[in-house]
Amino acid sequence: MKKFIGDRAFYIKVMGIAIPIVIQNGITNFVSLLDNIMVGQIGTEQMSGVAIINQLFFVFYLALFGAVSGAGIFTVQYVGQKNNEGVRYTMRIKLLVAVVISLMGILLLLLVREPLISLFLHEQGDGIDPAATLSFAESYLFVMLTGILPFGITQAYVSTLRESGETVVPMTAGLTAVIVNLTLNYILIFGHFGAPALGVTGAACATVISRFVELAIVVIWTHLHKDLLPFAEGLYSGFGIPLSLLIKILIKGTPLFLNELLWSAGMTALTQCYSTRGLAVVAAFNISGTIVNLFNVFMISMGAVVSIMIGQILGSGDMSDVVDTDNKLIAFSVALSTVLAVLLIIVAPVFPRFYNTSDEIRHLAATLMTVAAAFMPVSAFLNSAYFTIRSGGRTVITFLFDSAYLWVICWPVALFLSRYTDIDMVRMYIVILSLDFIKVLVGYIMLKKRIWIRDLVGTP
């Protein structure tokens, strides 16, 4: 068991990195949950419309994350060798890709919004009006588009701060943003304190304002603390980037960007397959997904911990304990995800009662939560394995392991089941999640072969 369990010093180090990220992501998801409940109080069509738009934004968010992470695998190794100029260059690349992807996302969603939304509108006699759902979705979308660019720039700053070991400031900025978001949701959705009751539009306004607040905090703090973060000194002076480094990041980062883009698009395609069973499924997935995301906060945060700790070890050039550290990180993530899965199964029947919707949707949401909880330990292992392999720059392999697998295996199965069988939605969901056991075997083999142990930036 010593192979999988660390000493006290190990867990202190892990939690020192993880806790600020867990707190930030946890409170963000908790406020998202409250936000979701508030919208759910207005009606099922409003809740479903917002859920569809958030599913589309999910693709953008993950694409941006992948693009920023492509430079990030170099950033964290530059931090490991204390190369501030290298960190500055990677930060500039992150800012450029954040702006480009944000503008492309805005243009795409404006041009093809209605066809994309309509993919999820399937009436199955469940009493939900598709036309009303489309109208609410578009109202929410138009406002949310104004928050894309500040969100993108924030991610460039936040990722670099975390990779530099500064996790408290992103946490503080995130907490401030969610408090602003929650407060404005209460005021603008329902029309409190003399404000107009804007419904889904109010929810979007609250989110956009909170994103500008978060951006202001991280940017101002970063540039006021150049002594702690030397990369901020001269960040915008000339904005030069060595061509050789840019090419290296493009070579390593493009598969990562494509992976996140195609993986998120694939998950959206799976949701679209599930939605063929009716708009009630969209509503139920929205309810279950919100609470599942909250319980998955630790798993997602451990991905960042793996990326930071393993990346810094690889960058330092001392590979003596990198495998041992990785084994303990993966075991820790799986163990805690198992505990959280049990807790989720316990609360699953209770949570849907907070929504102003039908008993059918509440029951379906509770069932989906229980199924998702059963697969949480599997997801924890796959998440940690993914970030381990990515830390060594094996981005082509992570592309095949993640998004290629989703599109080649999972999506065709979901497409066949949804179009050519009458299998109910819950059984379809179980079948698709069960396919992850194949990935577990593949991931285990790749970790054992240690193909991910590589120093990308060169030991000084």
**Residue 367 has which token pair?**
């069932």
Q: Is residue 196 part of a domain?
A: yes
Binned at pLDDT 50, 70 and 90, residue 289 comes out as: confident
CB under 8 Å to 76, separation ≥6 — which residues?
163, 307, 308, 311, 312, 315, 391
Provide DSSP, 112-179. Answer: SHHHHHHTT----SSS--HHHHHHHHHHHHHHHGGGHHHHHHHHHHHHHHHHTT--HHHHHHHHHHHH
CB under 8 Å to 128, separation ≥6 — which residues?
44, 45, 48, 278, 279, 280, 283
Q: Which residue has the higher pLDDT, 315 or 364?
A: 364
The pLDDT assigned to 31 comes to 67
**Residue 103 has which token pair?**
């503008």
Provide DSSP, 239-292. Answer: T---HHHHHHHHHHHHHHHHHHHHHHHHHHHHHHHHHTT-HHHHHHHHHHHHHH
List of long-range contacts for 14-19, beta carbons under 8 Å, 24+ apart:
14/305, 14/309, 14/329, 14/332, 17/165, 17/167, 17/304, 17/305, 17/308, 17/309, 18/298, 18/301, 18/302, 18/304, 18/305
Binned at pLDDT 50, 70 and 90, residue 28 comes out as: low
Length of the chain: 460
| Amino acid present at 291 | I
The range of the structural domain enclosing residue 353 comes to: 8-449
Q: Is residue 89 part of a domain?
A: yes
435-460 pLDDT per residue, tens: 999 999 988 888 888 777 765 555 44
- Average pLDDT taken over every residue of the chain: 86
Q: Is residue 239 part of a domain?
A: yes
**Residue 345 has which token pair?**
């199964």
What is the spatial distance between Cα 378 and Cα 143, in angstroms, rounded to a whole number?
A: 37
Is residue 334 pLDDT above 80, yes or no? yes
Q: Is residue 457 part of a domain?
A: no
The pLDDT assigned to 188 comes to 94
Binned at pLDDT 50, 70 and 90, residue 126 comes out as: low
Is residue 363 pLDDT above 50, yes or no? yes
The pLDDT assigned to 343 comes to 94
Q: Among 20-29, 74-83, 301-310, 406-415, where is mean pLDDT lowest? A: 20-29
What is the spatial distance between Cα 163 and Cα 217, in angstroms, rounded to a whole number?
A: 18
Q: Spell out the alpha helix ranges (H) of 375-435.
A: 376-391, 395-399, 405, 411-420, 425-434
**Residue 290 has which token pair?**
């919100």
Torsion of Cα atoms, 181 then 185 then 186 then 188, to 10°:
130
| Residue closest to 42 by CA, chosen among 166, 132, 177 | 132
Angle (CA) 336-341-345 rounded to 5° is: 155
Q: Among 44-48, 224-228, 345-349, 453-457, where is mean pLDDT lowest? A: 453-457
The pLDDT assigned to 406 comes to 92
Is residue 429 pLDDT above 90, yes or no? yes
Q: Given 3-state DSSP classes, what are the helix, strand and coil percentages for the chain, each rounded to the nearest 5? A: 80, 0, 20
Q: Is residue 455 part of a domain?
A: no
164, 84 Cβ separation under 8 angstroms? no
110-124 pLDDT per residue, tens: 999 889 888 888 765
Is residue 391 pLDDT above 80, yes or no? no
Per-residue buried b or exposed e for 307-343, using 16+ beta carbons within 10 Å of the residue's own CB: bbbbbbbbbbeeeeebbebbbbbbbbbbebbeebbee
Is residue 19 pLDDT above 50, yes or no? yes
Q: Is residue 460 part of a domain?
A: no
**Residue 38 has which token pair?**
């508030």
Q: Among 215-224, 256-265, 425-434, where is mean pLDDT lowest? A: 256-265
Say if residue 34 is exposed, middle or buried (CB neighbours under 10 Å; 0-12, 13-18, 19+): middle
What is the spatial distance between Cα 377 and Cα 292, in angstroms, rounded to a whole number?
A: 13
**Residue 125 falls in which region: left (phi positive, over 0), alpha (psi -120 to 50) or beta:** left
Q: Is residue 238 part of a domain?
A: yes
Into how many domains does the chain fold? 1
